Amino acid sequence: MSLANKRIILGVTGGIAAYKSAELCRLLVKAGAEVRVVMTAAAQQFVTPLTFQALSGQPVLSSLWDAASGDGMEHIHLSRDADLLLVVPASADFLAKLVQGRADDLLSTLCLARSCRLAVAPAMNREMWAARPTRRNLEQLAEDGVMVLGPAAGEQACGEIGLGRMLEPNAIMAALPGLMGLGALAGKRVLITAGPTFEAIDPVRGLTNLSSGKMGYAVAQAAAEAGAEVCLVSGPTCLATPAGVRRIDVQSAAQMRQAVLAELPCTVFIAVAAVADYRMDVTATQKMKKSAGGLTLHLVANPDILAEVAALPDAPFCVGFAAETEQLAAYAEAKRTRKKLPLLVGNLAQDTLGQDAAELVLFDDQGKHPLPRADKLTQARHLVRRIAHLLND
Ligand code: C5P
């Protein structure tokens, strides 16, 4: 990815993750961006301005009251010129300041006096992340159009394990084309389904499919990296939302269908979800009791979301997935024709389920294109490239 001629303001606030921001600064510069670093006073308790000055090749700014900064209007000039304002890490306190529109230091003032997009990568202890004020602040930031990247789950500097750890610099880099309208799918709306669906039998039991959601989430990440505005409609999984992706959680096929239809129109619809083929005719409202004589469930077919979207008069470019256990090419081609899809991705279920790597074959009007075995994100990037190519054909 090239960020040549892009001007990025990298804001650094006070948190131990500030040291990772130095790596991000290096990656941004390597990608060709012109980076101006603005640090809060607290950030300088963790990393010195000299580190960022050396990495960005520019003096680091931190004070609103810097007599050496030209006409004293630095807070307006800097953000007027920028293509993106990126606050990494963003502390809980800084998020609260953004919500209130406070402007008591250079970085918060720049955030207020900007015409470019603002993205923040929060980093904090898991309890601070889960606290109600932080939850409220995140809702307000979403409403204010601030893009929130992450956080990720995992081991934290405080020794605890949970959500609140800052996204790694590489993952933040991967989200930038989407944020900045760059990439092969720039400006396109891409709608993706992922994960299994869960069809309730009674309040404590249900029918589902084996699906980790990894492939759908990888496709969402790859589409965002390619600059698309991505909406991911996800069945139950325990995966983190890829940076820059908007996610809607659903349980059943009916809810998934409703969410998908509500998100139309879009340019591309990629159905990766393993949707349950059947649901209960009538879901029991109370827990069903065991009986010695066995149990017969009466099931009805679920709507085929992909076939329904592909049959719309103004249908988006529709991509289906087919996991088969045998005769991949024959079944996949038959499915592509039946559902009227320009592109279908086939894989052998036993090779792919729950695994990090996948062996995929793309089927389109020009024939069959096997992709080399690779991790799911690499495969997803191949798929997105193929989609962009077919769209521009
Ligand atoms: O017919 P089959 O279930 O094998 O088709 C798989 C493809 O169709 C996948 O892309 C899946 O996401 C989609 N699908 C769907 N709604 C269903 C069943 C499958 O969107 N009810």
Domain carrying residue 366 = 189-392
Q: Are residues 123 and 267 in the same domain?
A: no
The reply to whether 77 falls in a domain is: yes
Question: Taking a C-beta distance cutoff of 8 angstroms, is the pair 203, 362 a contact?
Answer: no
Of 263, 299, 304, 317, the one to substitute when testing ligand 1's pocket (max ligand atoms within 8 A of C-beta) is: 304
The reply to whether 164 falls in a domain is: yes
pLDDT at 332: 92
Q: Are residues 251 and 114 in the same domain?
A: no
pLDDT at 359: 80
CA 388 to chain centre: 19
Q: Are residues 228 and 327 in the same domain?
A: yes
Any atom of ligand 1 within 6 Å of the Cβ of 259: no
Tell me the backbone φ, ψ of residue 186, rounded to 5 degrees.
-55, 135
Report d(CA 65, CA 111) in Å as an integer: 17
Of 179, 201, 226, the one marking the end of a domain is 179
CATH number at residue 96: 3.40.50.1950
Q: Are residues 375 and 345 in the same domain?
A: yes
Q: Are residues 234 and 159 in the same domain?
A: no
pTM: 0.78
What's the average model confidence in pLDDT over 189-199? 98
The reply to whether 184 falls in a domain is: no
Q: What is the pLDDT of residues 51-102, one digit of tens each?
A: 999 999 999 999 887 655 556 666 677 878 899 999 999 999 999 999 999 9
Any atom of ligand 1 within 6 Å of the Cβ of 276: no
Q: Are residues 209 and 334 in the same domain?
A: yes
Of 252, 279, 306, 328, the one to substitute when testing ligand 1's pocket (max ligand atoms within 8 A of C-beta) is: 306
Q: Are residues 200 and 174 in the same domain?
A: no
Q: Are residues 112 and 207 in the same domain?
A: no
Tokens of 83: 């293509």
Any atom of ligand 1 within 6 Å of the Cβ of 302: yes
The reply to whether 2 falls in a domain is: no
Any atom of ligand 1 within 6 Å of the Cβ of 320: yes
What is the percent of the chain with per-residue pLDDT over 70, rounded to a whole number? Answer: 96
The reply to whether 1 falls in a domain is: no
Of 151, 179, 207, the one marking the end of a domain is 179
Of 179, 212, 229, the one marking the end of a domain is 179
Q: What is the pLDDT of residues 278-332, one digit of tens each?
A: 999 999 999 998 888 889 999 999 999 999 999 999 999 999 999 888 888 899 9
Q: Are residues 229 and 202 in the same domain?
A: yes
Q: Are residues 171 and 232 in the same domain?
A: no
Mean pLDDT of the chain: 91
How crowded is residue 22: how many other Cβ atoms within 10 Å of its Cβ?
19
Q: What is the pLDDT of residues 328-364, one digit of tens each?
A: 889 999 999 999 999 999 987 766 666 677 789 999 9
Q: Find the 334 Cα to ligand 1 centroid distance in Å.
A: 13
Tokens of 125: 């202890």
Report d(CA 328, CA 346) in Å as an integer: 7
The reply to whether 20 falls in a domain is: yes
Q: Are residues 124 and 209 in the same domain?
A: no
Q: Find the 29 Cα to ligand 1 centroid distance in Å.
A: 43
Q: Are residues 276 and 348 in the same domain?
A: yes
CATH number at residue 309: 3.40.50.10300
How many distinct structural domains can be found in the chain? 2
Q: Smallest Cα–Cα separation from 380: which of 158, 202, 222? A: 222
Query: Which residue, by CA, sits nearest to atom 21 of ligand 1?
Result: 304
